Chains A and B, each alone.
Chain A
Amino acid sequence: MEHIITPKVEHVKLLDRYATKKSATGTIYLTATHLIYVETSNNTRQETWILHHHISSLEKLPLTTSGCPLVIRCKTFHQLHLLLPRERECQDVYQSLLRLSQPVKLDELYAFLYNPKQNEEERREGWTTVDLATDFRRMGLPNDHWETTELNKDYKMCSTYPLMLAVPKGASQATILGSAKFRSRGRLPALSYFHKDSKATICRCSQPLSGFSARCLEDEQMLEAIRQANPNSPFMYVVDTRPKLNAMANRAAGKGYENEDNYSNIRFNFQGIENIHVMRNSLQKLLEVCAMKSPSMSDYLTGLENSGWLRHIKAVLDAGVFLAKAVSDEKASVLVHCSDGWDRTAQVCSVAGILLDPYYRTIKGFMVLIEKEWISMGHKFTQRCGHLDGDPKEVSPVFTQFIECVWQLTEQFPCVFEFNERFLINIHDNIYGCQYGNFIGNCEKERREIRLQERTFSLWPFLLEQEKQYRNPLYKRKTGTLRPNTLPLHFKFWCGMYNHYEKGMHPKQSVLDQLLSYTQKKADGEKKYVGSTEAISGC
């Protein structure tokens, strides 16, 4: 609270983007966690709550005759244009928000303050909602070819990997440890997904430290062990998700990619997904398009093209499709990496998971997938989301792109996902909101060190509690691999995300709400009919 100089400012105008005349008047309040705008102009008391963590940038515009303008841009793509009556107050609010939106220490994050009135028991219970050991069992592990290993005890082998890793049975301890040494940051090939039907797998790792000519026998053995763990294919794919040029440049730094001559029976290819800096700039351009004041159709389409955003989304989805096809159609295993194996690799593996396994298309399964490919495998949420005041070059919308890929799929397959668009947007908001502990920290080790599970709550049980509103009423469980059409014309701009707060742009009536109200009434009716005991056991 020490950062709040002026906790309340009255007579603040909230400008409407399209009709400046229609601006609202109200009061802003600064709390330890939120900026609250209460509209007082009409008889309606309308409140807008902005989480400090959601604020991505603040801009004080030059003073005008009608007041002192302050533009607040959020990571949720919300943009507020406030007009404060006095310069002094504007400066105070600006300064406070600047500090509050960029915490210096993890302890300052909302999650460490947030108390949803649950006891310790419930908190502990909540953190077990998603359990990766269960998912390994669900996939069919351990089996003849795959087992979990405890080699990463105390995070010694790889500090950014989880303790529980699955590796091929055929790989000896020496092979595993040797391979880890030959991989950037020790991120050795580990199982991401085991496809029961084909016995083919998706494994993930970081780039090899191959430079121009270095070899590592253990790494070569490791890949061979992965290939042999799949009796259905004589070869395996090694997918480098980077553009070829980037991968080649890495060789100069002693890193690089696998030389096909040194590894037996591999088929190597590049997928051409750009790096985090390109993606960050692309989003920036996209948001500029979103913020244009009444653009013409041509301005908009040209802007969309120039941002490159949909091209990147397509690249991620295309790579995911490549993986899914290899595994389900060719029955061949795939090893995926990028540079460090925590951004593009996470995107591609999780997209492939969605395509291959109907479980990950359910509400619960989607949580498991995020936990597995992102949280557990060390996607650097703290840095990528800019939770703390830090290097802005580490911030990148990698997870946002994954969420969008899933949305593009829900548009192409409206009946195969158990969840709806709101679920995706809510998760996205929570990634940045830091109200729950799930997305704090850069890897499992770090989370253990700050005793996250003892000090914060997990998001998942709260989402499950409100499951009803996240359901897709059209959902019909469908087995088998999804085969999306990735011709460019099947990709759409996601207005519901990037222009989420421009209510005027969205359909004025919601098919989703209408259908949910139907299915809800129906469900309620059935419940009454069957009786409450049935309903509880049915969950």
Chain B
Amino acid sequence: MEFSEHIKTANVDDVVLKQPFHAPMKGTLCVTGHHLLFSDRSGDSSWQLLLLLRNIDAIEKSVENLLGYSSTGSNIRPVGSSGTITIKCKDLCILQLDIPGMEECLNVARSIEALSSLDNVTEMYPYFYRPSWLSLDDQWGLSTLEKHYDQLGALQVKWRLSNANSDFSVCPSYPPAVIVPQSVDDQMLVKAARFRQGGRFPVLSYYHQKNGMVILRSSQPLTGANRKRCKEDELFLQAVMDGSERAYIIDTRSAQQAQQARMTGGGFESKSCYNSWKRLHRHMERGKVLQESLIKLVEACGDQSHSMDRWLSKLENSKWLSHVHSALSTAGLVAECVERDGHSVLVHGSEGTDTTLLVCTLAQLILDPESRTLKGFLSLLEREWVQAGHPFQLRCAHSAYSHTRLRQEAPVFLLLLDCVWQLGRQFPLALELGEPLLLRLAREAYASDFGTFLCNNEQERCVLEVKDRTHCLFQFLLRSSEREHYVNPLYEPTDLAIWPSVQPQSLHLWTGLFLRWSDHTQTMEEVREEIWSIVTQHCGRG
């Protein structure tokens, strides 16, 4: 296999490993095509550490020659050398390896650098992960849009399933099937798609059973500088209205940004052309700004300074909590339009693959009790992120430590998980999924044994046969053996909407994630165990 050409030194003895929660250990380090293995000296087959190379975000190396004087006195020659590799992982863990021998150290570092940045998808570990307890014949994915459509009986009167995108020709980043109004035929849909960036025409995201209102999502219309119009797009949205007087467009850009987008061919729905749609702008950060926010926050959390002012100012300066705030309040606004005002909502920003999905997902969690179950939540992620074409491969290529030049990385998915955690904190009984699930997903999105978060959209997954050649994370998490780690022991379903408070006092630093590798984690595990034991003793659940 071609991995071997990257591995100059496969085994090194007498390496000292320092990692959180453990005393330093001496043992053997081994570099393989996908992993860094470390076993302590006495261990026969029990690995102390099995680190997916894909999980490595950055490495820092330092070597030193220990110069010694030979017995003759005048000649200086190296009698020993050593090196240290600091490994910073995408899951925010930091490890340190002290390696005897400068040569070995540099070889190992070079291998790690090369192997952890391979971006050929089919060479990634999910294509090689073959545990005995999983079979490639197992069902891949929790559901499809067809099944989802079948389950929503009440919706079928006015909405239909379209297979116009079955060959991904209408919109490369959409799944083969989407839900659109009955009165919009495929021909119209194809034309409307041409008027939207990346072909992302409006599709149904959520159907609110209580009042029949919907949340749609799309990308920005390509009105451009000349204020182009598209009859089909207008009719499409007209069809969504279905006789009601008003509906809302929530644009996740500021009004100014939306204006500016016209210069590069994008734009927004003008009042004159879409007169029953009321457009509201709610600015949300995306892309590089978001990535830099994460980097700053993680840096602040690693700061060992005892100055309170410095910490609070760094926390403020990172703006991460401001992003949490705007995501939750925009989602709250969408949910309010649907539930309280009884209007349908179209959500979009520019590309419709990031903040759009974030807002739609959070609004559903607020409104829909089904999406708050463990299975419902994973299905929601599958539908609204994986199938809806959030470009995981691009966004999660690097995390907070990477020194490489940023390309299209952005922690939008991490921000979603943080917002879900905030919801769970404010409604500790309402979500069936517990914090451990969110932490697991935060890790899996960046480096995984499973194929779920590979690629950027369904088309790519199809071409690379992801569903045939890798295992599905969501299916795995729902197995009874795994499930219990991830459910909230206090879960009590409620049919009501869960309206989050977005007061700054109500939003908190997600210590579970950002202090994942500190003592805090052990305390939280202790609390979780204690809660489980109380719940189990009380009602025999467990």
Binding site for B on A (CB under 8 A): 290, 294-302, 304-305, 308, 310-311, 314, 318, 412-415, 473-474, 476, 485-493, 495, 499, 502, 504-511, 514-515, 518-519, 521-522
| Contact call A508/B498, Cβ cutoff below 8 A | yes
Chain A contact residues: helix, strand, loop or mixed: helix
| B323, closest chain A residue (CB) | A297
Given contacts A414-B523, A485-B519, contact A298 B306 (CB under 8 A): no
- Provide 6 A-B residue pairs closer than 8 Å at the C-beta atoms, listed in order of the A residue: A297-B321, A415-B526, A489-B515, A507-B427, A515-B490, A518-B537
**How far, in whole Å, are A505 and B508 apart by their CA atoms in the complex?**
12
| Contact call B503/A504, Cβ cutoff below 8 A | yes
| Contact call A311/B531, Cβ cutoff below 8 A | no
Nearest 3 A-B pairs (CB), nearest first? A488-B311, A300-B504, A301-B316
| Contact call B430/A509, Cβ cutoff below 8 A | yes
Give chain B interface residues in 500-542, CB to chain A under 8 Å.
501, 503-509, 515, 518-520, 523, 526-527, 530-531, 534-535, 537-539
Shortest distance between the CB of B533 and any CB in chain A (Å): 10
Which residues on A sit within 8 Å (CB–CB) of B498? Answer: 508
**How far, in whole Å, are A181 and B501 apart by their CA atoms in the complex?**
58
**How far, in whole Å, are A334 and B226 apart by their CA atoms in the complex?**
79
| Contact call B309/A300, Cβ cutoff below 8 A | no
**How far, in whole Å, are A318 and B527 apart by their CA atoms in the complex?**
25
Given contacts A298-B316, A311-B309, A499-B505, contact A508 B426 (CB under 8 A): yes
Shortest distance between the CB of B539 and any CB in chain A (Å): 8
Which residues on B sit within 8 Å (CB–CB) of A295? Answer: 504
| A485, closest chain B residue (CB) | B519
B467 at the interface (CB under 8 A from A): no
**How far, in whole Å, are A499 and B504 apart by their CA atoms in the complex?**
12
B306-341 near A? 1/0 per residue, CB < 8 Å: 111111110110010110010000000000000000
| Contact call B316/A491, Cβ cutoff below 8 A | no
Which residues on B sit within 8 Å (CB–CB) of A507? Answer: 425-428
Which residues on B sit within 8 Å (CB–CB) of A304? Answer: 312
Which residues on B sit within 8 Å (CB–CB) of A308? Answer: 308-309
Which residues on B sit within 8 Å (CB–CB) of A311? Answer: 308-309
Which of B504, B518, B520, B530 lies at the interface centre, i.e. has the most chain A CB atoms within 10 A of its CB? B504
Q: Interface residues of B toward A: which range?
A: 35 or more
Which one, A294, A297, A412, A518, contacts B523 given CB within 8 A? Answer: A412
Given contacts A305-B316, A489-B509, A504-B503, contact A415 B309 (CB under 8 A): no
| Contact call B321/A487, Cβ cutoff below 8 A | no
**How far, in whole Å, are A529 and B309 apart by their CA atoms in the complex?**
56
B135 at the interface (CB under 8 A from A): no
Which residues on B sit within 8 Å (CB–CB) of A508? Answer: 426-427, 498-499, 501
Which residues on A sit within 8 Å (CB–CB) of B481? Answer: none
Shortest distance between the CB of A408 and any CB in chain B (Å): 12
Chain B contact residues: helix, strand, loop or mixed: helix
Which one, A299, A305, A492, contacts B313 given CB within 8 A? Answer: A305
Which residues on B sit within 8 Å (CB–CB) of A412? Answer: 523
| Contact call A297/B308, Cβ cutoff below 8 A | no
Which residues on A sit within 8 Å (CB–CB) of B308? Answer: 305, 308, 310-311, 314, 488, 491
**How far, in whole Å, are A325 and B316 apart by their CA atoms in the complex?**
33
B74 at the interface (CB under 8 A from A): no
Binding site for A on B (CB under 8 A): 300-301, 303-313, 315-316, 319, 321-322, 325, 425-430, 490, 498-499, 501, 503-509, 515, 518-520, 523, 526-527, 530-531, 534-535, 537-539
**How far, in whole Å, are A127 and B308 apart by their CA atoms in the complex?**
41
Which residues on B sit within 8 Å (CB–CB) of A301? Answer: 312-313, 315-316, 321, 504
Which one, B300, B313, B322, contacts A296 given CB within 8 A? Answer: B322
Which residues on A sit within 8 Å (CB–CB) of B499? Answer: 508
Which residues on B sit within 8 Å (CB–CB) of A499? Answer: 505
| B309, closest chain A residue (CB) | A305
Which of A314, A413, A518 lies at the interface centre, i.e. has the most chain B CB atoms within 10 A of its CB? A518
Known: A300-B505, A318-B306. 7 other contacts (CB 8 A): A305-B309, A505-B506, A507-B425, A507-B428, A508-B499, A518-B534, A522-B538
Which of A305, A413, A473 lies at the interface centre, i.e. has the most chain B CB atoms within 10 A of its CB? A305
Which residues on A sit within 8 Å (CB–CB) of B311? Answer: 487-489
| Contact call A473/B313, Cβ cutoff below 8 A | no
Shortest distance between the CB of B199 and any CB in chain A (Å): 36
Which residues on A sit within 8 Å (CB–CB) of B535? Answer: 518
**How far, in whole Å, are A495 and B300 apart by their CA atoms in the complex?**
23
Shortest distance between the CB of A122 and any CB in chain B (Å): 35
| Contact call B501/A505, Cβ cutoff below 8 A | yes
Which residues on A sit within 8 Å (CB–CB) of B530? Answer: 415, 474, 476
| Contact call B505/A487, Cβ cutoff below 8 A | no
| Contact call A487/B527, Cβ cutoff below 8 A | no
Given contacts A474-B527, A521-B538, contact A485 B518 (CB under 8 A): yes
| Contact call A414/B527, Cβ cutoff below 8 A | yes
Shortest distance between the CB of A301 and any CB in chain B (Å): 4
**How far, in whole Å, are A356 and B538 apart by their CA atoms in the complex?**
33
Given contacts A473-B534, A495-B506, A518-B534, contact A509 B427 (CB under 8 A): yes
**How far, in whole Å, are A267 and B374 apart by their CA atoms in the complex?**
58
| Contact call B504/A297, Cβ cutoff below 8 A | yes
Which one, B316, B490, B504, B537, contacts A514 given CB within 8 A? Answer: B490
| B310, closest chain A residue (CB) | A488
Which residues on B sit within 8 Å (CB–CB) of A514? Answer: 428-429, 490
